[in-house]
Amino acid sequence: MNIPFSNLPRLVIIGGGFAGVALARKMVKEDVQLILLDRHNYHTFQPLLYQVSTSSLEPDSIAYPLRKIVKRGKNTFFRMTEVTSVDPENKKVHTSIGSITYDYLVIATGARTNFFGNTNIENNAMRMKNLPQALNLRSLMLENLEQAVITPEPERRKELLSFVLAGAGPTGVELAGGIAELKLNVLPKDYPDMDFTEMEIHLIEGADRVLPPMSTRASEKATKFLKKLGVNIYTNTQVTNYENNLVTTNTDVSLRTATFIWSAGVTGAPVSGIDASSLIPRANRYKVNQFNQIEGYDTIYALGDIALMETDAYPKGHPMVAQPAIQQGNHLVKNLKRHLRGQPMIPFTYFDKGSMATIGRNKAVVDLGKFRFGGFFAWFIWMFIHLWFLVGFRNRFITFFNWTYNYINYDKAARLIVRPFKNKKENEVERV
């Protein structure tokens, strides 16, 4: 791995997501040798992935080079590699480019798409957990439109112009809203020779309402906004299969589509080598104590989506969203510093800053403590917060510029098939 020997304690962080970056950014200045490992050489701002898929933003706007984060320190290193396992007995991490020892290990590997064991869906559905997948989705949607414009058979054209999404959590809702915006404001200008009344967007949800993690008020407003945008919503409906362009469900709903997007669940992405008793099987997340130490290990910590900390307020662990990951990363900085100074660590407490989702142009819903609101003001807050949390001034500036341009011109800047969606195999390789 080409990491020099150092007398300083070695801190190895697996994963440059929200949690890993929050930790690394502050630990680079401390008296440790810091090594950040990730399979990608960039951090991804996942909340805006749907904007890459729907051609609003280029991928670079929501990615940030991990090397830029570690270069701020003297004894800090980044290595782009796939971590294959950890060996707690010998305090070693094994990767695709070699092995490395650690004094402190932090696992912040996040989550991956959960298909609940349905292999047909896993093999055939589009997913949107990382940038390559978001680009695949963008390419497939645009390729299907290019096909539709030259397809005379109405049935085949209908398949190409139908977009079906499973899962009406924030990701499904935002993506459905984004596709509906394309249909209403952008595509008719691009394809004047196509009848866009034929284009359909279907959103399927197993629960009895959209946005199940949010308040009922947010859910009602989101339903109203989506319907206004022409999205067909099916609640209390579970997708059971997707094969040969046919989506089937546990009700009488079945839909033909060439673009089926699965956003119906995530599960932890653990690394092998940690004792199975420390992994909560139903969630695939490591059980951690209030200092984020993995149960049974003093020097191995887990943060963010991969960590499940049971507390009175959150008996099933914190929600798998960005804030717990960021807050746990920041908190571990304090605790590692304390540990290095021989002081006792402080338990983590989560501060819930609320949740939000946007539904197309000018509309969003926000749950902020007791305050629940939706519409233009909520959309404005949504934009401000997302810009604020984007990593890097350049990304904020470009995103702000793109949003303003899109808003004024009713246009989307990134409708290019620069990276054609090839086949299922490619989709499989990029599975995380």
Question: What residues contact residue 265 under an 8 Å CB cut-off, 6+ apart?
Answer: 113, 114, 115, 116, 167
320 part of the interface to ligand FAD, by CB under 6 A: yes
Distance of alpha carbon 396 from alpha carbon 364, whole angstroms: 20
Sheet holding 92-95, edge to edge: 83-87, 92-95, 98-101
Nearest distance from C-beta of residue 130 to ligand FAD, angstroms: 7
3-state secondary structure of 152: coil
Among 88, 110, 177, 317, binds ligand FAD (CB under 6 A): 110
Give the other-Cβ count within 10 Å of 79's Cβ. Answer: 22
37 part of the interface to ligand FAD, by CB under 6 A: yes
Distance of alpha carbon 32 from alpha carbon 13, whole angstroms: 12
255 part of the interface to ligand FAD, by CB under 6 A: no
Q: How many residues make contact with ligand FAD (CB under 6 A)?
A: 33
* Tokens read off for 396: 């904020």
Distance of alpha carbon 5 from alpha carbon 11, whole angstroms: 13
Q: What percent helix, strand, coil does the chain show, rounded to 5?
A: 35, 25, 40
169 part of the interface to ligand FAD, by CB under 6 A: no
327 part of the interface to ligand FAD, by CB under 6 A: no
Reply yes or no on whether 174 is catalytic.
Answer: yes
Give the other-Cβ count within 10 Å of 183's Cβ. Answer: 20
* Tokens read off for 156: 């085949």
109 part of the interface to ligand FAD, by CB under 6 A: yes
20 part of the interface to ligand FAD, by CB under 6 A: yes
Nearest distance from C-beta of residue 157 to ligand FAD, angstroms: 29
CB-closest chain residue to ligand FAD:
17
47 part of the interface to ligand FAD, by CB under 6 A: yes
CA angle, 18 then 362 then 353, to 5°: 35
Nearest distance from C-beta of residue 110 to ligand FAD, angstroms: 2
Judged by CB under 6 A, the chain residues 49 through 68 that form the site for ligand FAD are 49
User: 157 or 221, CB closer to ligand FAD?
Assistant: 221
Catalytic residues: 174
Binding stretches for ligand FAD (CB under 6 A): 14-20, 37-40, 46-47, 49, 82-83, 108-110, 128-129, 170-171, 269, 271, 304-306, 320-323, 325
